[in-house]
Structure 1
Amino acid sequence: MQRVFSGIQPTGIPHLGNYLGALRNWAAMQADHDCVFCLVDMHSITMPWNPEDLRRQTLGSAACLLATGIEPTRLYNQSAVSAHARLGWIFNCVSRLGWLNRMTQFKDKAGKNRENHSAGLYVYPNLMAADILAFHATRVPVGDDQKQHIELANDIAQKFNHDMGTEFFPQIEAFIPPAAARVMSLRDGTKKMSKSDPSEQSRIVLTDTPDEIALKIRRAKTDSDALPSDVEGLEDRAEARNLVAIYAAMSDETMSDVLARFGGQGFGPFKNALADLLVEKLGPVATETARLMQNEDHIISVLRAGADRAREISEPIVQEAERLVGFIR
């Protein structure tokens, strides 16, 4: 059974894009993979943060993940397991500056003010590699925008193995689940749905009420034309394509199936149907999240138990990596 590692930053309540692109698939993968799922709170402090917000968001994110079907023993927060930081430092000394200079996400996040950003933001791809390799994970569910990080992790693993004269770290496979969906902003169909978008109307979060979901879908940007009868008709209609794709993903249909039912109609009836579908599918997640958040001590105990399991797996691996580099323990 292959070991899977994946993580999500607890920088806010997960949104519909997180659910369709990752969380729903994480839950499904538990049946036939040895899964380790992590709230990567150490990555969250690579950008400016508020300590109380981080604590609150970590607990809220944990509750959401549990509500989507993640098994409690497979979930923990990154900072509770020292193997991440220890292996991350080793990888800081294995990775090359030229490799990090090619990482596009740092350029995107830092923009023109790169000199004012933290060193952590620059080297976080090394920590991401450590997150995976501390568990000898061989499969990582990712989106297209994360493939570069998996390539870097494999470069680091290969260089470590070469430098130490061993085949200690395995190759990692970037795994894109067949049901993964790329969800775009409800206000701009050319941009990914994001927690950091200043407009709350751009995203549906997993704790939204039925009324909030209905309002956001009703206000979602569209055009004046009716829905087409085939997928080709959506080619230059980013917002329409996004809403149809969301409906298809939530209903486990193809976009062609959706258009066969709604093609030729205006957006009014379709938006009503989409809102009803989202309320039906996400309502139980919001209800369970709210129930879990009533007992923060329980969530903390779940994370601690998950961290215990994560240590059992990662500690022997990282101790051996430390021995290989010459550390005395």
Structure 2
Amino acid sequence: MQAVTITEHGDTDVIDYGDHPDPEIGRTDVLVDVKAAALNHLDIWTRRGMPGLDLEMPHIPGSDGAGIVEEVGEDVTRFEAGDRVALSAGCGDLRMDDPTLDPHYYIIGEHVPGIHAEYAAIPEENLIPVPDHVDWTVAGSSCLVFQTAWRMLIERADLEAGEKVLVLGASGGVGHAALQIADHAGAEVYATGSTEEKLEYAKEHGADHVCNYEEENFAEWVQAETDGRGVDVVVEHVGEPTWQDSIASLTKGGRLVTCGGTAGGAPETDIPRIFWNQLEIIGSTMATPDQVDDVMELVWDGTFEPAIREELPMSESARAHEIIENREGFGKVVVRPDSEL
């Protein structure tokens, strides 16, 4: 088969697309004929390398994708050949109430080979059914960001209708999902973006107030917009450049929920502001299977929709990485096996 591979950690020149051994399925695995997949910032971090990430090279990336079941292992009970499926990439002990808290939790595409290939062998517990009416582009690009944003807002931050929510980078992957989820939950939504086009997108998808962070400090903007009160929840996924202003945007008793640090993971923090204002700093990773089912039903029925900035053949995956790294446009970058184009 043809597959995207990372030959070593580094810049985009370590990305290759070419012949790779066909995957072998185990007793509980499903062989998926991949129709569409998508990139996330996670793919950038995996390519660059992170502390503690020890991969067998060459490594196939990709934590988002969808396709048709080609073959199933002998113990598979939920799927059969011909079924339409999408990947839910988090792997934890399903005997736990919350598998994301499994000390050995890992993510397909980050810690083990992913789905950016013509075929992928996926454990059946990491696949969800895709209705016939759903386009492959939607199916292959939605699960990671929408499950992440759903858990952040609905489960971890316990968002309530009428609360004020600030979504940073509202046109990015997690950002555009959080924007729609916050609006659906009945929150008053404040959003940031770097261009007028991105801000217009935010307004069309649920933002009540928008701020161009390239032109003004968003914390000062939030305080002005809320008459000095601040917001109840900040959706934070940028890290070092925004951390202090994210904390400064919160009202007393507010909650900052974070799923990552795409621009730096070791920010300075304002401890006096945190304890004096009794703020909560909440971490969030992926979602439980039940939470995935809940949010993906709303994707499948069209309540939520992924923004797609570009579709490319997998042979142009290096260019796909560049689009995300350079913050070109907004939404997800979809890649398809060259044989599908």
TM-score relative to the length of structure 1: 0.29
Answer 1 or 2: which has greater strand percent. 2
Question: Which structure's residues are more often helix, by fraction?
Answer: 1
Relative contact order higher in (CA < 8 Å, ≥ 6 apart): 1
Q: Which entry has the higher C-alpha Rg, 1 or 2?
A: 1
